[in-house]
Amino acid sequence: MAKKYTIKKYSSGVDRLKMLPIVFGPRNIVSCGLSFEALVTTKARQITEEYDGGEWGIYTVTPNEDLSIFLPIYALDPSKTYKVNSPDNYFQGEMTGFALGSALSLIALSHLSFQVETQEEQDLVGDLHHRLRDFILSYDNDISTFNDFNPKDVALTRKDVNLIIALID
């Protein structure tokens, strides 16, 4: 049976810069890609004291039925648990680095959808947000991975998914 999703990890730096035009398109790197990154890191600083900058695991998720789609997830250290306290909806809890990064990526795409100016950008960001949300809600660890990283680094339990839902509501 074929895996439902393929997850690819990008190292930071040059690989990250290659990933942005793949996800957002070459014309939307500044208006969408760099703004997305800034929103993710800003929100991370707001909701967890344990984040003070540093490296992110950068992933793209591709539904195997449509290999032209790349969904961005910026994840913190998967071996750590982060205490989260959101002033927006009073959520408090602990999340894995991948779960927190998944939630932050969703939140950033949602915020970005209200900031972009053109209809093309609004359609792109809205589509990415809905597809990433659908991926998270249907996540069953039935994935393929590339680049020699541990699939456990990108595992989401049902509890993780419930926490993500609680944080983004």
Domain that holds residue 30: 5-168
| Percentage of the chain lying above the pLDDT 90 cut | 30
Total structural domains within the chain? 1
Q: Which of 133, 105, 89, 131 lies closest to 39, judged by CA?
A: 105
CA–CA separation, 134 and 163 (whole Å) = 15
CATH number at residue 142: 3.30.70.3580
For 92-104, what is the mean pLDDT? Answer: 91
pLDDT in tens, 123-146: 999 999 998 888 888 876 666 666
Q: Is the pLDDT of residue 147 over 60?
A: no
